[in-house]
Each structure stands twice: as C-alpha cells, then as structure tokens.
Structure 1
Amino acid sequence: MSTPTPLILASASPRRRELLAYLGVAFTVLPAEIDESVPESMDDPVAFARHLAETKASAIARRHRRAAVLAADTIVVADGRILDKPADAEAARNTLRTLRNRPHEVTTAVALAYESNVWVDHATTCIFMRDYTDEEIASYIASGDPFDKAGSYAIQDRRFHPVDRCEGCYCNVVGLPIVLTQRLMEEASLTVLDLNPPDLPPECYPCPLSEPANISNPLITW
C-alpha cells in the first residue's frame, strides 16, 4: 500500500477549504502570498488565472517538497474584463450594477504541484444574474460580504441570491471545481489520506464526481 502524500491547500479561502473537504481527503492549509494584481493590459483572462494558480502552487511546493500542493484562482469576466475583488463600497456597487440582469463568466484555474511537476486545468461557468434593485445592492454591500469576493458577490448567498441561472459547475463559481480537482489528483497518481467517501454540495446533484468529466461542457444547470 502506498504511503499517503501530505496535501496542502495553498489558499486562505474558507470556501475552498469547505469544497476540498467534500472530496473526503486530509489536508492542511498554507496560503500562498503572491502579487495577484491584474495587469492593465489583459489579453487573456483565463491564461492569467492559470498563471496565478500555478504560481501559488509552485511557491508553496518549493518550501514543502514532500507534499502535494493544491492552489486555485477564480476570476469573474464581463465584456472581456476581469472584475476583481472590490476595493471599497463604490467599486462593489459599480461591479454589481455592471453584472445586473445579464450573463458573465466565472473561471477557476486549479494547479497541483507534486514531485517537481505542476498540473493545471480550469473550468468556466456561465452565470446569468437576476434584475436585483439598487436597494438590494446597498443592503448586500452593508453586510460586508462582497469585499473578499471576485465579482463582488457570492453565488451561495441566500439573502441577496444574485444569480438567476447557472450553466456549468456550481462549485467552480464558489471557488474550487470538485470534479476537476479530483481529476488532477488522479492524473498526478496522487495518493492522499482519505477520511470520508467523496460527497457533493446539494446544489451539485447530479454531478459525475466519480466519472470522467468534460469540464468544458456544463455539468449542471439550475
């Protein structure tokens, strides 16, 4: 029997910790501190997200060579422009108005660094926002919730519930596509300590967690 490899999640996001736990694996958390500022000239947002995820994983892997390191980066893109975490209430308000009653894309890039190799992949989900009011925006901003989130919103927020429809992987929008993450671990032939059988958030059923998945195609629509 193979000795389990220590797994490190290079993220401070509580949402990614929760999602990785659905895979039932043991892991520790060690956030990577890198420059995540978006360049003024950005021709390929997806390539930028993949670069950040790989940079995060590699930064921690260089210090923990016996471990496997998992990192991710989530971007919200509208009209080809990355909508980053808001710097203040005005930025959050402008972003939420921009996204209102229209579609946009959310991409999460995932990188797994293990034994001097790095596997990188990404998932993209199309999100259709509802026609929420300015008063709802103000109330949501007052809650403080938008300020640590790309795009200034959380798809899982039950009170604001900004999303009308989701085409693609729900977990991808929250911050870590579970199927893609499992697939990267399988591609790396990674053996980690299993604590529980894999599970899924209730929003994800049905989802081919234990089957090969074509992430470029929608897994679920609601």
Structure 2
Amino acid sequence: MKPFILASGSPRRKELLKQARYTFSIQTSDVDETVNPQLTPSEVVCELARKKAEAVAQNHPDVVVLGSDTVVVCNDQILGKPSDAKDAKAMLTSLSDRDHSVLTGVAICEKGEVTTFFEETVVHFYPLSEEDIDQYIETGEPFDKAGGYGIQGFGAYLVHSISGDYNTVVGLPLAKTMRELKHFNIYPNIN
C-alpha cells in the first residue's frame, strides 16, 4: 500500500480515513489561515486546504499529502470556531430552527501538483431552547468545531436533518476523497 500524509490534527478526519482502511501518517501544518475576504466560502475551504497540504508537502516532496478545511455558513457569513461560551451561544442561537451549509474543502498534493475540491451539505437544526444550547455548551464540544457544534457527538441532538454527505459535516467528504485518492494511486488496505 502506498502511504500518504494527512496534513491535519483533526481526530475526526483521522478516524474517517482509518475507517476507510487507509495507511497514512499525520503531520500538522501551522499555516496562516487568513484568506482574502472577497473569496466565496467554497474558495475559502479550498484555499485553506491547499495551504495546509502545500506546507507539509514542502518537507515531503515525494509523498502524497492531503489537507482539508471545514466551514459553516449561515446568512452568507462564515462561522469559525467559537472563542468562548458567549460566542458559542451566539452561533448556536443563530443556527436554531434553520438551514445552514457546511463546506469541506480537500487538497491533494504530489510533486507540486495540487488537486482541490469541496463538498457542501445543508444542515437543518431543530428549534433550540436556551436550555438546549446551555446544556450543549456544558459538554465542551463546541469549542474546537466550526459553527460551534459537532454532528458526530452530542451535537447530533441539535440536528433535525441533512441534505448531502454526512461525512462532509464531520470534516472530510470521504466518498469523494476516496475517489480522488485513486488518481494518486492511493488505495485502502482491503486485505
């Protein structure tokens, strides 16, 4: 099996790739995540994924490197990771009883060539009471997740429905990523 490097410290991305039976190593990149404010959300996630992959690839020119980034978009505004409980509460309140988009961008880099793509999933939240929001914030889950929630944990309680790829919301559109990795001769370890 040809291994690759995941340029992300996300435990969710790591778990998804392990679930798909890939052999890979992890090396995080410490890139500046500032982007041009004129970029669309899809351009933002692709740009950030590319920056992460290229930063790691500089030190590993002969290895395939995969970078990824996820954002939550509500009312045409990108919601990042909340800075504190007050910020998390504001984000979750804004998402209550409405649709929002989760976009995950992926960049795959090898020998200076970069392929980028993104997937978008629409998520609809239940109406959330102040008690629902406070209880969720007490779990500690919101603070390292775009939009202030994680669908794969206790945050599933907030989600009424989704339209699109569940794994995009978790942090890596796995089916599309697997198809793209084949172009780089990266395959899961089935045996």
1:195 counterpart = 2:185:
no
CA distance in 2, matches of 1:53, 1:181: 13
- What amino acid is aligned across from residue 17 of structure 2 in structure 1? L
Q: Taking structure 1 as the reference length, what is the TM-score of the superposition?
A: 0.81
CA distance in 2, matches of 1:81, 1:42: 12
Aligned length, in residue pairs: 191
Looking at secondary structure, tell me which structure has more strand per residue: 2
Q: CA RMSD in A?
A: 1.6
Query: Could you tell me which residue of structure 2 aligns to residue 216 of structure 1?
Result: none
**Identity within the alignment, %:** 37
Contact 1:50 1:122 in 2 (8 A): yes
Q: Taking structure 2 as the reference length, what is the TM-score of the superposition?
A: 0.94
1:33 to 30, 33, 45: 30
Gaps of 5+ in 1: 198-222
Query: Could you tell me which residue of structure 1 aligns to residue 41 of structure 2?
Result: 45
Q: Secondary structure at the match of 1:47?
A: helix
2:120 to 111, 124, 138: 124
Deviation at 1:12, TM superposition (A): 0.5
Relative to structure 1, the CA distance from residue 96 to residue 13 in structure 2 (aligned partners, 3 Å threshold; closer, same or farther) is same
- What amino acid is aligned across from residue 5 of structure 1 in structure 2? K
5 Å matches for 1:170-209? 170-188=166-184, 190-192=185-187, 194-196=188-190
- What amino acid is aligned across from residue 31 of structure 2 in structure 1? I
Query: Could you tell me which residue of structure 1 aligns to residue 136 of structure 2?
Result: 140
Query: Could you tell me which residue of structure 2 aligns to residue 5 of structure 1?
Result: 2
5 Å matches for 1:38-117? 41-117=37-113
1:155 counterpart = 2:147:
no
Gaps of 5+ in 2: none
CA distance in 2, matches of 1:47, 1:71: 14
Deviation at 1:42, TM superposition (A): 4.0
Looking at secondary structure, tell me which structure has more helix per residue: 2
